[in-house]
Amino acid sequence: MSKIPYKIYLEEHEIPKYWYNLRADMPNKPAPLLNPGTLQPMTVEELSNVFCSELAKQELDDTTRFIEIPEEIRQFYTMYRPSPLMRAYRLEKALGTPAKIYYKFEGNNTSGSHKLNSAIAQAYYAKQQGLKGVTTETGAGQWGTALSMACSYFDLDCKVIMVKVSYEQKPFRREVMRTYGADVTPSPSMNTQIGQKILAEHPGTSGSLGCAISEAVEVATSTPGYRYVLGSVLNQVLLHQSVIGVEAKTACDKYDIKPDIIIGCAGGGSNLGGLIAPFMGEKLRGEADYRFIAVEPASCPSFTRGKFAYDFCDTGMVCPLAKMYTLGSGFIPSANHAGGLRYHGMTTTLSQLYHDGLMEATAVEQTAVFEAAEQFARTEGILPAPESSHAIRVAIDEALRCKEKGEDKTILFGLTGTGYFDMLAYEKFHNGQMSDYIPTDEDLQAGFAGIPNIRL
Amino acid sequence: MSKIPYKIYLEEHEIPKYWYNLRADMPNKPAPLLNPGTLQPMTVEELSNVFCSELAKQELDDTTRFIEIPEEIRQFYTMYRPSPLMRAYRLEKALGTPAKIYYKFEGNNTSGSHKLNSAIAQAYYAKQQGLKGVTTETGAGQWGTALSMACSYFDLDCKVIMVKVSYEQKPFRREVMRTYGADVTPSPSMNTQIGQKILAEHPGTSGSLGCAISEAVEVATSTPGYRYVLGSVLNQVLLHQSVIGVEAKTACDKYDIKPDIIIGCAGGGSNLGGLIAPFMGEKLRGEADYRFIAVEPASCPSFTRGKFAYDFCDTGMVCPLAKMYTLGSGFIPSANHAGGLRYHGMTTTLSQLYHDGLMEATAVEQTAVFEAAEQFARTEGILPAPESSHAIRVAIDEALRCKEKGEDKTILFGLTGTGYFDMLAYEKFHNGQMSDYIPTDEDLQAGFAGIPNIRL
């Protein structure tokens, strides 16, 4: 057996006691959210109409470095945390690379992903506020599953609006959510005004996260005792997901592991933001240096081909405006896109860091992603989610680059989840029916046309 | 945080170095396997026509107490072992029971079950023998997935014959197996002589493990360089699964946990046999006492309503005869039966122990099983496999009995796997479409009629 185990498990008492708020260490703070009506920065009071009050505070707090994790949340975390930091000895051997590859595996729970980290926090604050229930949207279904589990734990109602393409392709996810007592509706639906509008304009659309968000917000704000919760993009979600990075950093420090490159997939940006948070903090404070790489699908290239501008967070344009890398709130990835990571924008924190040159981004095509997924499954044993496999693809590419150059760099990536509910996408891949699609410049221009012209 | 953590993880160097062969400690050994032609005890040479030679030796070895686990297998085990011993604090609280509930969780791997423990051992010995590939049957698909993973690791061909009802209800499993490079066929099929015969006699049958076994054996023995491997029932499989019990015992000893009752679901009996092995060894040697409870489906009640007799292990009557509790090799559970645990017999070791009064057995109906599954999912967070939920049902019942009596007993059960691929069964349960079925005495008599009349 090697000195560093295959799976590094911290003890339960090492579950972090604080979330780390990266914004507090950023010299250039993310731009504030704007009220879509007044174009003034959103206040906690305004946000509290949509979000739980404590979460509204967390959303706007860019100065408190450490925020205590309530004990009830830490108790819930013991179900599946600390999550293991894995050494990919077998993948390294298969690649013949001198690089050392580590991954923080967040899939060892029934939601199958990191989403549970924030779901339990959001459900907790909703319960504290005495709410009856929450609404949300879900894409691949991981977030909806996570929220269902969290709401079941705190005995809250849970209404999940599920992107239609996922609702139809992933009926099993629906049953997992029902096992935890959630109410699940496909989006766009005729139950909301915005759903009716989108269906009138785009009949037969397979939906998008943007549409689903608008519907979930409408349901929350029109139902007494409800608030809206969101599984990515928001500052509060990055804050909660910092538990990934803090644990990863603790494990690295304990075993004297110093990553050179840290890689994560990026849809809305929450897992990546959470994973890199404490490492980026060191970089910002000049204590250490790391390369950070965000990996996005070539079919939804917010960072690599988007614009850095104020834009709507949702298709219905009812949410606050955020300054972010965006493809326009009307952008919907082509129907052949298999996994999640379908969001048109990118969380403000990562957008600012990318804009400031503190982070890199790259886009990969899905056939190459599934090739990496299969290689990973066969060597490491874990069947990865398509989303997570974007990070695997780039980790493998970087490891092969190390092999070419004879460098023994240390690579750390986020393995956000498992692919057990994604077997239809794998089936397409096995049958050679998977296609790649890169949006044309015209496709992108159509999306950009919907970005409002705001200069502050 | 409590003194005993929610999840007890041993270190990787604590992965057992030896399998424990319970038979060596049994005063009444399991009766020998018989050659179906001569009715004489099978020899290693005869078994080696069907099984890998080293596995044939293990099959017949009832004297060697400890068998060393080859280092390459221990290396593979590091992918997912040691598996956690979990304390069900949340379930205890929900039940309001003074009982302490522990479960050994074997689902934290891509096969979603304990099956991988034996799959990797069998693939290893096949590779050592220089074989080209192996054939097997799979019911719920867990064993097939596990074997696919193991064969992929050792670069062996893998042909999986899958019980038709599972093949159709669980298409996603097929894609997991394909991800690991396996070839999957539904059973009964027209590819084998026995499949043709069964289809002629029972047109439209949804299949059974017994049929699938016969087909897999036929393919193995008629294809050069192939051997047959089996995921349960056999002595060798119980031997490999003892890794569960040895780890559980080590963890219990480390934390001074003394189980009063040890519970496991029983289909062919391998997970239960593996879990209880070292504890039963203590009982046999008079060093400690435990209650052991085998839980089987009321629709396939081998222990509780079967006969203790020599019977065929497969529907096709080509395999050796085993003395076991059996419903007859022609018995097929009713089509409404949702999960695995469909096998007509029970491994010889457990059959002998049950016959000798060293173990109890109970049968439960599936609606009650899914009620327990949902309660467990909501409290403990893990979505259990229907098979495992049989053990959960009885663990909950025993814990409630402790509550009634005010006893703080310690209960340990085997949580063999996750239910991510069983959502159709959960859907039926959610929709109130799940029914119970208990075979009538006439149903059982029809099965018993096929048991050969052998007295030794």
Cβ proximity of B180 and B203 under 8 Å:
no
pLDDT higher at B165 or A293: A293
- Please give, rounded to a whole number of angstroms, the shortest distance from the CA of B117 to a CA of chain A: 13
Amino acid residing at B157: D
Which residue out of A1, A75, A376, A392 would a mutagenesis test of the B interface target, given it has the greatest number of B Cβ atoms within 10 Å?
Answer: A1
How far apart CA B358 and CA A23 sit, in angstroms, is 63
Contact B180 A6 (CB under 8 A): no
Listed range (A32-36, A219-223, A314-318, B340-344) with the worst mean pLDDT: A314-318
Contact B423 A176 (CB under 8 A): yes
For range B64-82, the mean pLDDT: 97
Q: Is B189 exposed, middle or buried (0-12, 13-18, 19+ CB in 10 A)?
A: buried
Task: Report CB contact under 8 Å: A378, B1.
Answer: no
For position A100, what pLDDT does the model report?
98
pLDDT in tens, B251-306: 999 999 999 999 999 999 999 999 999 999 999 999 999 999 999 999 999 999 99
For an interface test with B, give the residue of A2, A4, A7 to mutate (most B CBs within 10 A): A7
Residue with tokens 């290689």: A375
CB contact under 8 A, A426 and B152: no
Q: What angle do CA B141, B145, B150 make, to 5 degrees?
A: 150
C-alpha to C-alpha distances, A151 to A163, A285, B7, B368, nearest whole angstrom = 20, 38, 23, 24
CA-wise closest residue to B43 among B65, B27, B59: B59
Residue B2, pLDDT score: 52
| Average pLDDT of span A425-438 | 92
Residues 6 or more apart in contact with residue A200 via CB below 8 angstroms = none
Strand order in the sheet with B261-265: B7-8, B85-87, B100-105, B410-415, B261-265, B291-297, B360-364
Which residues are CB-neighbours of B228 under 8 A, at least 6 positions away? B50, B51, B134, B135, B136, B216, B217, B220, B221
pLDDT digits (tens, 9 = 90+) for A397-426: 999 999 999 999 999 999 999 999 889 899
The per-residue pLDDT for A456 is: 66
Locate A333 and state its tokens: 């990835």
Per the document, the length of chain B is: 456
**Residue numbers in A near B8 (CB within 8 A):** none
Mean pLDDT value across chain A: 94
For B425, the closest chain A residue by CA position comes to: A175
Higher pLDDT, B340 or B236: B236
- Chain A: give the shortest CA distance to residue B379, in Å: 7
Q: CB–CB of A33/A61 below 8 Å?
A: no
CA A385 to chain centre: 13
List the structure tokens of A410.
């240390």
pLDDT in tens, B389-400: 999 999 999 999
Q: What is the mean pLDDT of residues A209-214?
A: 83
- Tell me how many helices (H) and strands (E) chain A has: 18, 15
Nearest to B6 among A6, A79, A149 (CB): A79
- State how far Cα B126 lies from the chain centre: 21
User: Which residue spans within B2-73 are E strands per DSSP?
Assistant: 7-8, 18-20, 66-68
Contact call for A110 and B6, based on CB within 8 A: no
Residue of B nearest to A172 (CA): B423
* pLDDT tens column, B418-452: 999 889 899 999 999 999 989 999 999 999 999 99
Confidence of residue B338 (pLDDT cuts 50, 70, 90): confident
B426–chain A nearest CA distance, Å? 7
Pick from A5, A78, A383: which is nearest to B12 by CB? Answer: A5
Question: What residues are paired with B415 via a beta bridge?
Answer: B105
Q: How far apart are the first and last CA of chain B?
A: 58
The tokens for A92 are 């390294």
Residue of chain B nearest A15, judged by CA positions: B1
Residues in chain A: 456
pLDDT value, residue B363: 97
Option in A6, A12, A78 nearest B78 (CB): A6
d(CA A280, CA A285): 8
Higher pLDDT, B315 or A417: A417
Cβ separation B7–A78 shorter than 8 A: yes
Task: Say if residue A156 is exposed, middle or buried (CB neighbours under 10 Å; 0-12, 13-18, 19+).
Answer: buried
- Is residue B348 within 8 A of residue B374, CB to CB? The reply is no
Cβ–Cβ < 8 Å for B313, B269 = no
Residue numbers in A near B79 (CB within 8 A):
6, 90, 380-381
Query: What is the mean pLDDT of the segment spanning A9-26?
Result: 97
Mutate to test the interface with B, among A113, A175, A376 (most CBs of B within 10 A): A175
Q: Is the pLDDT of residue B456 over 70?
A: no
Percent of chain A whose predicted confidence (pLDDT) is above 90: 84
Of all residues in chain B, the one with the smallest CA distance to A169 is: B172
- Which chain A residue lies closest to B176 (C-alpha atoms)? A423
**Residues forming a β-bridge with A135:** A159, A228
The answer on pLDDT for B1 being more than 50 is no
- The span from the CA of B132 to the CA of B144, in Å, is 17
What is the spatial distance between Cα B449 and Cα B330, in angstroms, rounded to a whole number? 9
Closest by CA position to B130, among listed B156, B104, B149: B156
Supply the pLDDT for residue A290.
Answer: 98
Distance, in Å, from the CA atom of B250 to the CA atom of B80, rounded to the nearest integer, reads: 17
8-state DSSP, B270: H
Tell me the shortest Cα–Cα distance from B111 to chain A, in angstroms.
9
- Asked if residue B377 has pLDDT above 50, the reply is yes
3-state secondary structure A239-299: HHHHHHHHHHHHHHHHCCCCCCEEEEECCCCHHHHHHHHHHHHHHHCCCCCCEEEEEEECC
Q: What is the DSSP string of B76-128?
A: HHTTT-SPPEEE-HHHHHHHT-SSEEEEEE---STT-BTTHHHHHHHHHHHHH
Lowest mean pLDDT among A93-102, A348-357, A429-438, B63-72: A429-438
Q: What is the pLDDT of residue B115?
A: 96
Query: Looking at the predicted structure, is the pLDDT value of residue B66 above 60?
Result: yes
Question: CB count, 10 Å around CB of B36?
Answer: 17
Structure confidence by residue, pLDDT tens digits, A166-197: 888 777 888 999 999 999 999 999 999 999 99
Sign of the Cα pseudo-torsion (B200, B202, B203, B208, in order): negative
Instruction: Give the rounded distance of the alpha carbon of A44 from its chain centre.
Output: 24
